[in-house]
């Protein structure tokens, strides 16, 4: 069965610093991979996705992620964090033969002024 691990429950960074959120997945075939963001009291919003092709994908709000098959990872990065990036971030793997995804437990990002 597929699974997603986000090793960091909580990360704190200073505004303007770089950010990397880790995601490792387990899936038997080539995965579809997603990062979502959730602001307090809101639903989830898609940041970016990897379906195939270029392993470095760009998303909204200046985020990017790199798919590394050899490491079963899909880490999210941003070169300079803004206070408005404080939120909870979820990595997900989409099954290619069924209409559903598996989500990680999430990483909460706090941004220090």
Partner 1 sequence: NAGVTQTPKFQVLKTGQSMTLQCAQDMNHNSMYWYRQDPGMGLRLIYYSASEGTTDKGEVPNGYNVSRLNKREFSLRLESAAPSQTSVYFCASSEWGGRGYNEQFFGPGTRLTVL
Which two structure tokens, joined as six digits, stand for 6?
A: 């986000």
Any contact of residue 104 with partner 1 (CB under 8 A)? yes
Among 101, 99, 96, 70, smallest CA distance to 3 is for 101
Binding track over 60-99 against partner 1, x by CB under 8 A: ------------------------------x---xxx-xx
- Residues binding partner 1: number (CB under 8 A): 25
Vertex 11 angle, CA 8 and 14, to 5°: 155
Question: Which phi and psi angles does 85 have, rounded to 5°?
Answer: -80, -10
- Answer yes or no: are the C-beta atoms of 23 and 4 closer than 8 Å: yes
Among 57, 46, 42, 35, smallest CA distance to 106 is for 35
Any contact of residue 27 with partner 1 (CB under 8 A)? no
Closest CB to partner 1 among residues 99, 113: 99
Closest CB to partner 1 among residues 15, 108: 108
Any contact of residue 105 with partner 1 (CB under 8 A)? yes
**Which parts of this chain interact with partner 1 (CB under 8 A)?**
9, 32, 34, 36, 41-46, 49, 51, 90, 94-96, 98-106
């Amino acid at each position: 069965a597929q699974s997603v691990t986000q090793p960091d429950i909580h990360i704190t960074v200073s505004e303007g610093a770089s950010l990397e959120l880790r995601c490792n997945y387990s899936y038997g075939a080539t995965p579809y991979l997603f990062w979502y963001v959730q602001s307090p009291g809101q639903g989830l919003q898609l940041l970016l996705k990897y379906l195939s092709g270029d392993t470095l994908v760009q998303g909204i709000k200046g985020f990017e992620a790199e798919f590394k098959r050899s490491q079963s990872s899909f880490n999210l990065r941003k070169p300079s964090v803004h206070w408005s990036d404080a939120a909870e971030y979820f990595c997900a793997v989409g099954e290619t033969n069924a209409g559903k995804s598996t989500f990680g437990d999430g990483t909460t990002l706090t941004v220090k002024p």
